Amino acid sequence: MASGEIDPDNEFPNGEMRILGLIGDPVSQVRAPAPMTQRLRHAGLNAALVPLHVPAAVLPLAFGCLKLIRNLDGLVITVPHKIPMAELVDHCSERARLVGAINVARREADSSWSGDILDGVGFVRGLKQRGFNPEGQSAFVIGAGGAGCAVAAELAMAGAVVRVFDVSPDRVSALVKRLSRADYPVTAADTPDPHGARLVVNATSLGMKPDDPLPLDPALLSSQMLVADVVMKPRVTSFLEQARARGCEIQLGEAVMLFQLDAQIEFFREHLAARAPTR
């Protein structure tokens, strides 16, 4: 083949490509598009993950428009859309109903949309990969938004005893009620004090901006704690820097993304393969 010519068998992207959109407000911090697209290609799928900045104020309108794009087969959902998107899709998994949020959604064969939440799955897989088994451990989770609910629920399902703090007591109360009905040991914390916890998790967006306050007073951390974050950019947040300075083990926010990619591929793969030829 002469220089500059296109090999149609290896051309990518191409007109037959299937699209997955990553929606958030903002999306400049997301790191998933490249590794997700690589995994899709490695799985033999002619598909890519594309970031889409969708302002929160227009989410219902934007989702209605996205559903009209015929080669868009699914969405990966990040802050602040995880909770409202659970109300916009047609079906939610049992895990998503328990959490009250979704971070993936796919178009079904009948054109309805189904959602699931995999943030907690990725978080717990990351813990286990590093040799930390949540079963029987005490965990303190800061944040009861989409990511916080997912992390708290998955930790509880893995056998941890979980306390959750959020600046909105109503959000924590709603989470505790949902999990308590399913007999999972989750309680609300009145203050952001992780005393007695073996695992401490910042599941808020605090740390994305340089002038963000810390999610809790780092003086309350001890060297026996494993401290984790869900923020991916910066890679090492100020909170994790403070924790490491106090002798804590840390888990980066990127673990949530990296260890749930395979679960996301499983969620999308069958439907993508049914709609497009592989390359």
Q: Which residues are catalytic?
A: 82
CA distance 74 to 18: 9
CA distance 93 to 242: 37
Question: Tokens 């793969």 correspond to what residue?
Answer: 269
Residue with the two structure tokens 């690589």: 38
255 contacts 109 by C-beta, under 8 angstroms:
no
Angle between the N-to-C axes of helices 146-157 and 169-181, in degrees from 0 to 180, rounded to the nearest 10: 30
User: How far apart are the C-alpha atoms of 68 and 54, rounded to whole Å?
Assistant: 16
